Amino acid sequence: METMEQILFKAQTLIEALPYIQKFNSKKVVVKYGGSAMLDTDLQKNVIKDVVLLKLVGMQPIIVHGGGKEITKWLGLLGHESKFIEGLRVTDEQTMEIAEMVLGKVNKNLVQMVEGLGMKAVGISGKDGSTLKVKRKTIHGQDIGFVGNIKEVNVDLINTLIDNDFIPVIAPIGLDNDYQSYNINADDAACAVATAIGAEKLVFLTDMEGVYANPEDETSLLSVLTLEKADMLIESGYVGGGMLPKLKNCVDAVRNGVNRVHILDGRIPHCLLLEFFTDRGIGTAIIDKNRAFEHESIQ
Amino acid sequence: METMEQILFKAQTLIEALPYIQKFNSKKVVVKYGGSAMLDTDLQKNVIKDVVLLKLVGMQPIIVHGGGKEITKWLGLLGHESKFIEGLRVTDEQTMEIAEMVLGKVNKNLVQMVEGLGMKAVGISGKDGSTLKVKRKTIHGQDIGFVGNIKEVNVDLINTLIDNDFIPVIAPIGLDNDYQSYNINADDAACAVATAIGAEKLVFLTDMEGVYANPEDETSLLSVLTLEKADMLIESGYVGGGMLPKLKNCVDAVRNGVNRVHILDGRIPHCLLLEFFTDRGIGTAIIDKNRAFEHESIQ
Amino acid sequence: METMEQILFKAQTLIEALPYIQKFNSKKVVVKYGGSAMLDTDLQKNVIKDVVLLKLVGMQPIIVHGGGKEITKWLGLLGHESKFIEGLRVTDEQTMEIAEMVLGKVNKNLVQMVEGLGMKAVGISGKDGSTLKVKRKTIHGQDIGFVGNIKEVNVDLINTLIDNDFIPVIAPIGLDNDYQSYNINADDAACAVATAIGAEKLVFLTDMEGVYANPEDETSLLSVLTLEKADMLIESGYVGGGMLPKLKNCVDAVRNGVNRVHILDGRIPHCLLLEFFTDRGIGTAIIDKNRAFEHESIQ
Amino acid sequence: METMEQILFKAQTLIEALPYIQKFNSKKVVVKYGGSAMLDTDLQKNVIKDVVLLKLVGMQPIIVHGGGKEITKWLGLLGHESKFIEGLRVTDEQTMEIAEMVLGKVNKNLVQMVEGLGMKAVGISGKDGSTLKVKRKTIHGQDIGFVGNIKEVNVDLINTLIDNDFIPVIAPIGLDNDYQSYNINADDAACAVATAIGAEKLVFLTDMEGVYANPEDETSLLSVLTLEKADMLIESGYVGGGMLPKLKNCVDAVRNGVNRVHILDGRIPHCLLLEFFTDRGIGTAIIDKNRAFEHESIQ
Amino acid sequence: METMEQILFKAQTLIEALPYIQKFNSKKVVVKYGGSAMLDTDLQKNVIKDVVLLKLVGMQPIIVHGGGKEITKWLGLLGHESKFIEGLRVTDEQTMEIAEMVLGKVNKNLVQMVEGLGMKAVGISGKDGSTLKVKRKTIHGQDIGFVGNIKEVNVDLINTLIDNDFIPVIAPIGLDNDYQSYNINADDAACAVATAIGAEKLVFLTDMEGVYANPEDETSLLSVLTLEKADMLIESGYVGGGMLPKLKNCVDAVRNGVNRVHILDGRIPHCLLLEFFTDRGIGTAIIDKNRAFEHESIQ
Amino acid sequence: METMEQILFKAQTLIEALPYIQKFNSKKVVVKYGGSAMLDTDLQKNVIKDVVLLKLVGMQPIIVHGGGKEITKWLGLLGHESKFIEGLRVTDEQTMEIAEMVLGKVNKNLVQMVEGLGMKAVGISGKDGSTLKVKRKTIHGQDIGFVGNIKEVNVDLINTLIDNDFIPVIAPIGLDNDYQSYNINADDAACAVATAIGAEKLVFLTDMEGVYANPEDETSLLSVLTLEKADMLIESGYVGGGMLPKLKNCVDAVRNGVNRVHILDGRIPHCLLLEFFTDRGIGTAIIDKNRAFEHESIQ
């Protein structure tokens, strides 16, 4: 039995949430899902449940996933060694074939979880409908095999699925102009997709609380980061590790029209709901100062 | 700053509320608003704010209001005495003229409050679009003047307003077949409108907590009342005062297709939100046992 | 039994009328209805019948009404004195409350008459749908209370009603930016509405035959008045009384896109039909010389 | 300059006409045009002008024409004799070829007149779109050549033209199942077309005032003729000459769903307008007693 | 029984044809049909069958026909002599009347053939829907009667017919501004119609194999003729006879937006199919060099 | 350079093909693709090219594929043995995981080939959109692991893809009511999909010429097989090997509404085109005698 205090707190939570629910109605949101957040079964269930609830109240979520650790595991089972240069997997023909098989498995597994919650999902790779067109990537002039930079996103298939109430689940594989398969970095894929479909939000579910003004200082977590401030952080050299390319991606996405990019701590249960439907939000939001303020006015 | 416990309580409240928000999307709900709940300025603001929030998340609220106390006041100012027979105002031509003027004032005042919160409202009486057609009422064969029983509801105007995103605010006045004006009981009007437009819900905002199994026993509040049980209560003679005709109206509305009728305590702040978007609900819900259970399954 | 001469005259009348009926099909026409033309019951019936016939043959009439004499009467009954400065009612809070009640009564009474003829009408004030937004008016810097100048017309509600075959009947009350009620001059309201909805015609039903070149000379009635000629008349000082602001309104309306503004003698039975559907017309038409001629060519 | 009496008579004419104009809006009316009414140039202009005005106020007129006298003339010029059996032209191959040429000329001539009045017309025969499918006719077992009974009306082409605001002008020629050309009686064609397209009205423009109860008695003109009464007249043997088959056609058309069939005196100027838009009507109307009364209620 | 070689040849023919069928889907093509190709019954059947097949696979054919030899014949039968100046028929009033009758006959005859193959056709002249508006033509200042130059094509009727799946068959007759009938050269009419409706192709079925670089040299048949080359040929004086004005028409049509104009040998069975659906084509195609190449790329 | 004989043969081929192209326009056709026809690279290219051409001329092809030999190969690479009972793979959890990965690879490989020819394809399994819902299969009461019988086909996703011009490529995997993955026989999947979407045709590309009346007699190939005859063959015991279950599937599909089921020899180049667009057809067609004849009439 709830106390009157709890009842009033519920009413306040609803009054706080309802305008956001209205505001985000039929807005597109890309959720990049990967890393260790994919390995914990309970967290995985929470994330998929949140995505289903977003869909339930009228948003249009799109999932872009990775799967590096699974790929490494299966390559090992088949007797192949995994090699990386600057964080990118060196991808020969056999590696590509196996990587595509493994990402396909991860992809359909996520579909299966969404379907199990009564919502419709469709698992695609960037090859379907030539959704992701790429160009071979090199690192300092060095070839690393079938690793691609995205050159073009054909949004027809994604929009068709969204318009018909399917949640697209996208594996980061693409085709070059000769219709050869390529591996793509999942963060890059999420960013390109969000930009191309005009997403309201792009969310990275990570293993960190967000972006720190000073990584050494736990109290320096930034809840809002303007483009100017983000540029400064990038140049400062303070930001490092996996966060640097991610932050660059965030800045690009906002510059290209995504309204807000969020770096959330995927370890907090239901972090997506808390970020979207409460005033305070959690994690770090990267915004364009001018645009963001005018959009927030109805709150 | 919120505690983690509060944050998790918020997440739970959202997970609890989201399916209801989805479930009630674009559903019509008639809110009967009158009595003393109209006299307290703060309560009035809360009620109108809740109605606006219902609209904001996609429901289609319709307000039906009364105004008996205001009518009595203005009749007095103009030197007319108010007479009642069995709770119904004896209405001669002059009384009718003044009653219509006063209800018009109350009506546009509610419109003004909704508009002030940024939502669109339109104040109509049952004369507009011949929405409410009536027949002269008698009590035990005795004429009591221009008091009408509703014979027909023309839903075109109400639906036109709803379809174009206006909140209809309805004063309980109607026309007979000779296009003469008549006064109508506001509870009757709310009930007839809810039935005619196929409302999902009809809500009576009252000065009581709900319906009691035993009016003498404060702990006997009924949170759910099936039609069978309601019939028994009505026959038992236990239910009395203003509650008896209201309960009969509720039973009629459910029998005629309204999914749920709620008797809520208008004195609880945001009682509409708490009833609609939490599992527990508040006040008393009158339901058809069979129908209700199948509809509730996604909760 | 009709003579052959009468039959041929009928045929000629039809041949004369049919092209106008076609020409005005689905065109919007604003009828300003007020003054003494509202007091004679028979004239009132004739006017409403004409409006209903205009609707019947496919035009889209909108009624804007006044009610000054009724307001004065009820203020008197409630012990309030009516004060005017330069023809505008000084409007304190109580006067505003009573004026709104009385205009509401007049409004619904017109609705009732239209409904009685089998056509659908909806009575609104400028508060519904925030249709008329105003700013407080002053006269030579002197405040006269809740009297407003129209700053903005939101046409959504009017167009919604028209598109769904309801005849809008509009009372001249508006809201300022703080959502406070204001009294508006009915001629101003008619003019603003006609301009905002792009009316083909705006008609003032008055107690005069039309505009005279020389008010002293009964034979100088002008059947057509170009903007240039109207400007000259206004400057000349010849036009006086209630006609001067009305004429200024007419000129504004034509300048802002209304095709023709008519000043008709509301005392001639069925003056609206005769003006609209016969070659000769009656009363005075204010036109833009260039525009008018090209539009008349199919006659 | 019109007198006030004339002005009021005009107003009355309009009040009388407007409900009919509304009532017949977008209704289809088939006008059978032939015989001597086609030979007088002034009458011809009046008829075409009326048809254009019907179209102008929203009706959907279709013209079905004959051309017997022209065919006889051109057959003569080319050295062919005209032979008739029971009023039907004996039609060998050469006669058919010439009849088709002549009817084509008459057809396009009517189109030309409509176009000259600024309305769009399209001249077709029953061969276009296989609109009229026929079976070879015999008279008492005797073959009379290419003369056909209508077996089927394909309404697609007629409806396509109407829906796109063209007035169809139809020559009475058809195709049999072997796609051979056939001559058709124009009254039959008008009747079949009116029935097939669900016309509101079918009008025969004739050289007579209408149907007489007693052909000998000039005062016995029938303004309304019920199906029962028409059956009696047909059986009585009183009706003779060209009127008998015409009357049978009228009765069939009403029995098959045409609301009213009119036999009008094509020699009265603007008889179509007078019949359609005045209370009194002219000529004889053949009606189904039951149906007709319910349809007339708004008059 | 087919050999395997024949089967493979069939497969190749289909692989060759399918992209053209797709490419021309719902494209408009004007077929000018006249001259001696109209006199051979078997050729006539082949041409009409091809047109019906074009329609069957989704193209939108329009036939424009002539009929000079038939007109001359009937003028003779009626005792009128045919006079020509520079290939144009001197057309007095009687000649015009007879020419219109004869073209009407030819027109409905083609309709009849199309209908006989189960497709829907409608025969119109330029008078229907005022499709062809003309101005009186003179030759070196000399009047030659009712012979018109096309000044305007109203495409509404043609497009209405096409959109409703009828094949328009057009006789070359038009109206001037006084709605007088005029004779038009059929090649001119085909060219004007093709340009006005934005045809993909305009085809002239002639008695020649195509255009020769050197008319004396049978081996100099040109399969493609660019605008530049065509201009040179016209200026060279090499091209003569009926081909010169035809070639000028072709050049105009291409310059005005028709994608390809074809001069085909109507004596080759099924020349339309072979031209449209095989890589090689037959006859001469007049093209705009730049435009043509980009359009052909999917072949 | 083609001979005139070849040109005429081309014309005949086109005249033969065009009615089929029209007849099959926007018809759905399911192509079951598997077995050894998938192993020859050239044949694979021909099949995919044919499918793309079918799409190009307006048909709506759907590919359902198998992949048994590839699964066996990868199971071997990962050290798993393949076991079969009555031709069905015994499928434990690991086998299922690997089978799904391999079918995913085959699936996206076919997508890639279609995309390479400029058409859009989307590779799905029966898990996407819960397209294929299954129940665990047993053989004579013996469990064989994750092998499913199709219980329900949700056609929403397939229809969404088709309606948006994507070619669906379907891997035979499904979900049971607990959302567990299952392996499905590809022939069964093709048959269930064809029935559920109301396909005009279902085509099995096999390694045989078709069905023989007597398998021992090469000259007994049946080009048409009625349901009655097929039932007799099945009961006779003559048909054996892989053909028996395939033939049963064919019969079921025709009984459930598929118009024609074809068993084609996938080794004949362009067998799909030759079957669809020539009178003779190739392979064996299974038809419902009554239905088939009425549908074939326009040929």
- Is the separation of the CB atoms in A92 and A146 below 8 Å? yes
Q: How high is the pLDDT of residue F90?
A: 95
Q: How high is the pLDDT of residue A77?
A: 95
User: SS3 letters for A202-221?
Assistant: EEEEECCCCEECCCCCHHHE
Who among A78, A100, A129 is closest to F120 (CB)?
A129
Q: For residues A205 and A190, give the distance between their C-alpha atoms in angstroms, rounded to a whole number.
A: 11
Q: Do chains D and E touch (3 or more CB pairs under 8 A)?
A: yes
Mean pLDDT check: name the lowest of D70-84, F121-135, F206-220, F254-268: F206-220
Q: How high is the pLDDT of residue F252?
A: 93
Cβ within 8 Å of B, C 154-173 = 156-157, 160-161, 164, 166, 173
Reported as type and span, the H/E element at residue A189 is helix A186-196
pLDDT in tens, B214-231: 878 888 889 999 999 999
Q: How high is the pLDDT of residue E124?
A: 98
Q: How high is the pLDDT of residue A279?
A: 85
Reported as type and span, the H/E element at residue C33 is strand C28-33
Mean pLDDT check: name the lowest of B239-243, D109-113, D211-215, E292-296: E292-296
| Statement: residue B293 has pLDDT above 80 | no
Q: F80 — contact with chain A (CB < 8 Å)?
A: no
**Contact B10/A56, CB-based, under 8 Å?**
no
More confident residue, D298 or E165: E165
Taking residues E67-92, report their average pLDDT.
Answer: 93
Mean pLDDT check: name the lowest of A203-212, C58-67, E183-192: A203-212
- In this prediction, residue F296 has a pLDDT band, given cuts at 50, 70 and 90, of very low
- In this prediction, residue E299 has a pLDDT band, given cuts at 50, 70 and 90, of very low
Does the pTM exceed 0.90?
A: no
- In this prediction, residue E1 has a pLDDT band, given cuts at 50, 70 and 90, of low
Please name the residue of chain C whose CA is at the shortest distance from the CA of residue D21.
C57
| Statement: residue E296 has pLDDT above 70 | no
- Is the separation of the CB atoms in D208 and D243 below 8 Å? yes
Q: For residues D37 and E285, give the distance between their C-alpha atoms in angstroms, rounded to a whole number.
A: 54
Mean pLDDT check: name the lowest of B35-44, C17-26, E252-261: B35-44
| AA letter at A20 | Y
Between helix B41-56 and helix A4-23 the angle, nearest 10°, is 40
Handedness of CA C108, C114, C115, C121 (dihedral sign): negative
- Is the separation of the CB atoms in F259 and F200 below 8 Å? yes
pLDDT in tens, E198-239: 999 999 998 888 888 887 888 888 999 999 999 999 998 877
pLDDT in tens, A49-85: 999 999 988 899 999 999 999 999 999 999 999 999 9
Task: Please state, rounded to an integer, the average pLDDT across all residues of chain A.
Answer: 90
Q: Which stretches does DSSP call E strand in E126-237?
A: 132-139, 142-153, 167-171, 173-175, 181-183, 201-206, 211-212, 221-222, 224-226
Hey, of D57, D117, D223, D268, which one would you mutate to test binding to chain C, going by the most C CBs within 10 A of its CB?
D57
| Statement: residue E7 has pLDDT above 90 | no
Rg (C-alpha) for chain A, rounded Å, is 19
Q: How high is the pLDDT of residue C295?
A: 35
**Contact E270/F11, CB-based, under 8 Å?**
yes
| AA letter at A210 | G
Which residues on E lie below 8 Å from F9 (Cβ)?
6, 9, 13
Half-sphere exposure of F40 (CA within 13 A, CB side): 12
Instruction: Using alpha carbons, select from F66, F28, F34 the residue that is nearest to residue F47.
Output: F34
- Is the separation of the CB atoms in B140 and B161 below 8 Å? no
Q: D221 — contact with chain C (CB < 8 Å)?
A: no
ipTM above 0.90, yes or no: yes
**Contact A19/B274, CB-based, under 8 Å?**
no
| Statement: residue A296 has pLDDT above 50 | no
* Chains touching E (3+ CB pairs < 8 Å): D, F
Which residues on B lie below 8 Å from C181 (Cβ)?
108, 112
Q: How high is the pLDDT of residue E100?
A: 97
**Contact A128/F111, CB-based, under 8 Å?**
yes
Torsion of CA C295, D1, D3, D4, to 10 degrees: 40
Taking residues F228-251, report their average pLDDT.
Answer: 86
Q: How far is CA E119 from CA A76, D182, E111, in A?
A: 67, 20, 9
What structural domains and CATH numbers belong to chain F?
A: 26-199 (3.40.1160.10)
In percent, the amount of chain D with pLDDT more than 90 equals 66
Mean pLDDT check: name the lowest of E281-285, F88-92, F150-154: E281-285
| Statement: residue D294 has pLDDT above 60 | no
* pLDDT by position in tens, chain C (length 299): 577 788 888 888 988 888 898 889 899 999 999 877 787 888 889 899 999 999 988 899 999 999 999 999 999 999 999 999 988 899 999 999 999 999 999 999 999 999 999 999 999 999 999 999 999 999 999 999 999 999 999 999 999 999 999 999 999 999 999 999 999 999 999 999 999 999 999 999 988 888 888 878 888 889 899 999 999 999 988 777 778 888 999 999 999 999 999 999 888 889 999 999 988 778 899 999 877 543 343 33
pLDDT in tens, A12-45: 898 888 889 888 989 999 999 987 777 788 888 8
Taking residues E93-111, report their average pLDDT.
Answer: 96
Q: For residues B155 and B13, give the distance between their C-alpha atoms in angstroms, rounded to a whole number.
A: 36
pLDDT in tens, B139-154: 999 999 999 999 999 9
Encode burial over A254-276: b for 16+ CB neighbours within 10 A, e otherwise: beeebbbbbbbbbbbbbbbbbbb
- In this prediction, residue B1 has a pLDDT band, given cuts at 50, 70 and 90, of low
Mean pLDDT check: name the lowest of B98-102, C118-122, D230-234, F239-243: F239-243
Q: For residues E78 and A49, give the distance between their C-alpha atoms in angstroms, rounded to a whole number.
A: 90
Q: How high is the pLDDT of residue F133?
A: 98
Q: How high is the pLDDT of residue B243?
A: 83
Q: How high is the pLDDT of residue A40?
A: 83
Contacts of D235 (CB under 8 A, 6+ apart): none
CB pairs under 8 A between C and D: 79
Contacts of F276 (CB under 8 A, 6+ apart): F20, F24, F54, F59, F201
Which residues on C lie below 8 Å from D22 (Cβ)?
56-58
- Is the separation of the CB atoms in A131 and A152 below 8 Å? no
Task: Please state, rounded to an integer, the average pLDDT across all residues of chain F.
Answer: 90
Taking residues E239-254, report their average pLDDT.
Answer: 86
Instruction: Using alpha carbons, select from D139, D171, D127, D134 the residue that is nearest to residue D149.
Output: D134
Contacts of B89 (CB under 8 A, 6+ apart): B68, B71, B82, B83, B95, B99, B144, B147, B183
In percent, the amount of chain E with pLDDT more than 90 equals 65
Task: Please state, rounded to an integer, the average pLDDT across all residues of chain B.
Answer: 90
Taking residues B69-76, report their average pLDDT.
Answer: 94
- Burial class, C298, CB count within 10 angstroms (exposed 0-12 / middle 13-18 / buried 19+): exposed
pLDDT in tens, E112-127: 999 999 999 999 999 9
CA angle, D20 as apex, D17 and D23 as ends, to 5°?
A: 155
Q: C14 — contact with chain D (CB < 8 Å)?
A: yes
pLDDT in tens, E26-41: 999 999 998 777 778 8
Which residues on A lie below 8 Å from F122 (Cβ)?
122, 124, 128-129, 157
Q: E127 — contact with chain D (CB < 8 Å)?
A: yes
- In this prediction, residue D292 has a pLDDT band, given cuts at 50, 70 and 90, of low
**Contact E128/D105, CB-based, under 8 Å?**
no
- Is the separation of the CB atoms in C253 and C236 below 8 Å? no
Nearest CA distance, B114 vs chain C (angstrom): 10
Nearest CA distance, D274 vs chain C (angstrom): 6
D289 φ, ψ to 5°? -50, -50
Q: C105 — contact with chain B (CB < 8 Å)?
A: yes
